[in-house]
């Protein structure tokens, strides 16, 4: 039920590094952006601890602090940051229509979608407990691998991400166990060859994660061979989950060009979607890089693309 309506010049949906960077640029360009945060203000980075790879923080920064800094920077130039979830959209009308929390209808001259993606998890109780405690469970080897330098870790998954992250971890860690649920990998042949030619990666085929051990931090992973039912405990201190991500794009399905996984397709080298005036930035349009800094970079591009679009249509 729509209870109120408002017109916004530049609407930004999502509050990760992509959304806030788009907001910084859009507000400095006087587009008077309004940013809706979604249900997790700050996005995926609020669920991580130390961020050591965002340029400009030589001593590192925590994920929540980084997101607060980005938010404050966006607000400093006049972005209006509001808590609320975009629940429905009609992008094929002018102006675009977006509903917030199912009740408020916004019409917007331009929309920057920065709704991000969510890592998939196995769903084990100890996985979520240790993840929430920052206790050694992670979905991003590039972000967190460094903390396990010289240690033994395990990674679950067998796609390109898992293969890439396993080889990344193998450069830092003493030993990497790769837990693969079938007798083959989904990853490209080239990536599989890299994994199989890395001496300190041991692949556990036909295996699933039975449990993750540890009170405060991971101190072992129990793996079950699904062919023999044999249980084996791996003495690892880090557990990486790389079983895929889901872009948060459900409300735009059927309206905007996406790939078969739901990632919004953009014109290469830009943030333009197939709908004039609608731009996609950050992880909702990127399944390859998924880094805070690449998301932030595309957020900047989104604001510049939006500014040029608005100028071209005389707004």
The catalytic residue positions are 140, 143-144
Residue linked to tokens 């830092």: 172
What's the residue count for the chain? 315
* 175 CB neighbour count, 10 Å cutoff: 17
157 binds ligand NDP (CB under 6 A): yes
- Tell me which of 91, 134, 156, 306 binds ligand NDP, using CB under 6 A: 156
Minimum distance of ligand NDP from residue 28's CB (angstroms): 33
Smallest CA-to-CA distance from 266 within 288, 242, 293, 246 is with 288
Contact between 102 and 7 under an 8 Å Cβ cutoff? The reply is: no
Q: Which residues contact 311 (CB under 8 A, 6 or more apart)?
A: none
Give whichever of 164 and 307 is closer to ligand NDP, judged by the CB atom. Answer: 164
305 binds ligand NDP (CB under 6 A): no
In the range 14-73, which residues lie near ligand NDP by CB under 6 A? none
- Tell me which of 161, 248, 249, 271 binds ligand NDP, using CB under 6 A: 161
Give whichever of 244 and 297 is closer to ligand NDP, judged by the CB atom. Answer: 244
Residue linked to tokens 């796609």: 159
Give whichever of 61 and 130 is closer to ligand NDP, judged by the CB atom. Answer: 130
Residues 180 and 199: their CA atoms lie apart, in Å, by: 17
262 binds ligand NDP (CB under 6 A): no
Minimum distance of ligand NDP from residue 19's CB (angstroms): 22
Within the chain, strands assigned E span 4-13, 33-36, 50-51, 61-62, 80-82, 86-90, 96-100, 104-113, 117-119, 137-138, 152-156, 175-179, 201-204, 207-213, 220-225, 231-234, 238-241, 245-247, 278-280
Minimum distance of ligand NDP from residue 167's CB (angstroms): 11
Minimum distance of ligand NDP from residue 234's CB (angstroms): 15
Give whichever of 159 and 297 is closer to ligand NDP, judged by the CB atom. Answer: 159
Q: Name the residue with the smallest CB distance to ligand NDP.
A: 159
288 binds ligand NDP (CB under 6 A): yes
- Tell me which of 160, 286, 305, 307 binds ligand NDP, using CB under 6 A: 160
Residues 14 and 83: their CA atoms lie apart, in Å, by: 10
The binding site for ligand NDP (CB under 6 A) comprises: 122, 156-162, 164, 181-182, 186, 243-245, 287-288
């Amino acid at each position: 039920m729509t209870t109120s309506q408002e017109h916004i010049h530049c609407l930004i949906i999502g509050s990760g590094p992509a959304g806030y960077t788009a907001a910084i640029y859009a507000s400095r360009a006087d587009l008077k952006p309004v940013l809706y945060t979604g249900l997790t203000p700050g996005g995926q980075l609020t669920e991580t601890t130390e961020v050591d790879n965002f340029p400009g923080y030589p001593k590192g920064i925590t994920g929540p602090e980084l997101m607060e800094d980005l938010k404050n920077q966006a607000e400093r130039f006049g972005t209006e940051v509001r808590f609320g979830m975009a629940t429905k959209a009609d992008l094929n009308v002018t102006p675009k229509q977006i509903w917030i929390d199912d009740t408020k209808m916004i019409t917007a001259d331009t929309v920057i979608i920065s709704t991000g993606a969510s890592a998939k998890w196995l769903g084990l109780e100890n996985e979520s407990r240790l993840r929430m405690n920052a206790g050694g469970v992670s979905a991003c080897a590039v972000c967190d691998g460094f903390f396990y330098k010289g240690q033994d870790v395990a990674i679950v998954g067998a796609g390109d991400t898992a293969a890439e992250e396993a080889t990344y971890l193998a450069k830092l860690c003493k030993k990497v166990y790769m837990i693969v649920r079938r007798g083959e990998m989904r990853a490209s042949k080239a990536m599989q060859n890299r994994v199989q030619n890395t001496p300190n990666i041991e692949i556990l085929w036909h295996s699933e994660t039975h449990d993750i051990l540890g009170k405060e931090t991971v101190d072992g992973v129990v793996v079950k061979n699904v062919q023999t039912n044999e249980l084996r405990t791996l003495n690892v201190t880090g557990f990486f989950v790389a079983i895929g991500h889901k872009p948060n794009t459900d409300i735009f399905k059927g309206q905007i060009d996406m790939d078969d996984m739901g990632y919004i397709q953009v014109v290469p080298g830009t943030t333009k979607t197939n709908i004039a005036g609608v731009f996609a930035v950050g992880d909702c349009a990127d399944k390859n890089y998924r880094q805070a800094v690449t998301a932030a970079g595309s957020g900047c591009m989104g604001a510049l693309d939006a500014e040029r679009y608005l100028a071209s249509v005389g707004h």
